[in-house]
Structure 1
Amino acid sequence: MFKLSSNRLPHQGKFVRWGILGLSSAPIFGTYVYNQGYRISFLQCPILHLTGVPCPSCGMTRAFMAIVRGDLHQAIEYHLFSPVLFVGFVIAVIHVTFELLTQRRLTTFYIECLKLKKVQLSIVLIFFTYYILRLYWWQQTGDIFFRV
């Protein structure tokens, strides 16, 4: 299930893990900051801003904010996959922090599973099928405004 390497992390491996830690912790930290009332005006979806069409991840910021407030129902309304992605970020932060503290590579079942091409393809297909269904729903309800 979990296996700690006997070899120390090389310098490049540490550098990569610091990058992963920064990218994985940014949404968690950003969600906390946004829930405190701070806003960064230039952080808006460029696809939605330019076209009027929401991108596949539109709603994630609001959903993450709802998760941090403990409102899982609202989070799922904003984006169905937000709880899974949020937990993924938390796991990534814990995993990479552990590797950096121990200076060893940690092999886990979830990393091995995510390396499988079939799993990767399934995740992408499910995510974009959900996106297409959301676009259809928004078009039916009039919540989508195309800019031409």
Structure 2
Amino acid sequence: MLRFSDAVLSKGERLSRWGFLGLTTAPLVGAVLFNHTGTPPFLLCPLRAITGIPCPGCGLTRSFLAIARGDFENALRMHLFGPVLFLAFTVAAVFTAIELRTGRRLQRTPFHDINKRIQNWWWLGAIYLVYYSLRLYSLFHTGEFYIHPLEILATKID
């Protein structure tokens, strides 16, 4: 059951909640809209476009698009953390909207409980880096990742 504090949200808190709601719903709404219009060119990874090396977040947009289509198998294949982040954005948006609707702060949210249980967040970063390293290794082994830095520099200079 949801429990609310007695204090009413201040004007500053309401404003920050509206900003947070915009940040959490933008990827969700974008995933639904871009499924019908196609992925726009501004969503392409600049690091991969310049260097040929995929960034740690490469595939998250495609994963979100797959989730919006209901294709969870492809979503996991595009990026393992895509469904997790999509769920986190959805839950955060719902709880933020509830706080804005009621005008009161929630005393406990799933994020509060998770934050209490996970004392040190560094290991999540380590897991993410290991996953990224495995993705790079896999791309290199399958031949999809064939980067030669000296070749890139030579073509950029010409």
Alignment TM-score, normalising by the size of structure 1: 0.90
Please tell me whether the aligned partners of residues 53 and 145 of structure 1 are also in contact (alpha carbons under 8 angstroms).
no
Q: Any idea what the Cα deviations from partners look like across 1:50-70, whole Å, max 9, x if unmatched? A: 111111111111111111111
| Structure 1 partner of 2:91 | 91
Provide the rounded CA distance (Å) in 2 between the counterparts of 1:21 and 1:108: 18
- The two structures have a TM-score, normalised by structure 2, of 0.84
Q: Please, which moves more after superposition, 136-145 or 16-25? A: 136-145
Aligned-partner Cα distance in 1 for 2:18–2:31: 20
Answer whether contact 2:24 2:90 (CA < 8 A) is retained. yes
The number of equivalent residue pairs is 148
Alignment root-mean-square deviation, CA: 1.8
1:15 is matched with 15
Query: How far apart, CA to CA, are the structure 1 residues paired with 2:82 and 2:132?
Result: 13
Displacement of 1:135: 0.9
Question: In structure 2, what is the Cα distance between the partners aligned to 1:53 and 1:113?
Answer: 37
Deviations 1:88-135 (A, max 9, x none): 111011010001011111132522244356352232221121111111
Q: Residues of 1 paired with 2:18 and 2:95: CA distance?
A: 12
By relative contact order (CA 8 Å, sep 6+), the higher-ranking structure is 1
- In structure 1, the gaps of 5 or more residues are none
Question: Is 1:65–2:65 an aligned residue pair?
Answer: yes
Check conservation: 1:114, 1:120, Cα contact below 8 A. no
Equivalent residue number for residue 29 of structure 1: 29
**Structure-2 separation of matches of 1:40 and 1:50:** 18
Taking the aligned partners of 2:4 and 2:111, their CA distance within structure 1 comes to 13
TM alignment of 1:39-118, pairs within 5 A: 39-116=39-116, 118=119
| Per-residue Cα deviation, 1:9-56 (whole angstroms, up to 9, x for no partner) | 111111111111111101111111111024432222111111111111
1:127 aligned onto 2:92: no
Structure number with bigger Rg: 2
Aligned counterpart, 2:137: 136
1:2 is displaced (CA, Å) by 4.0
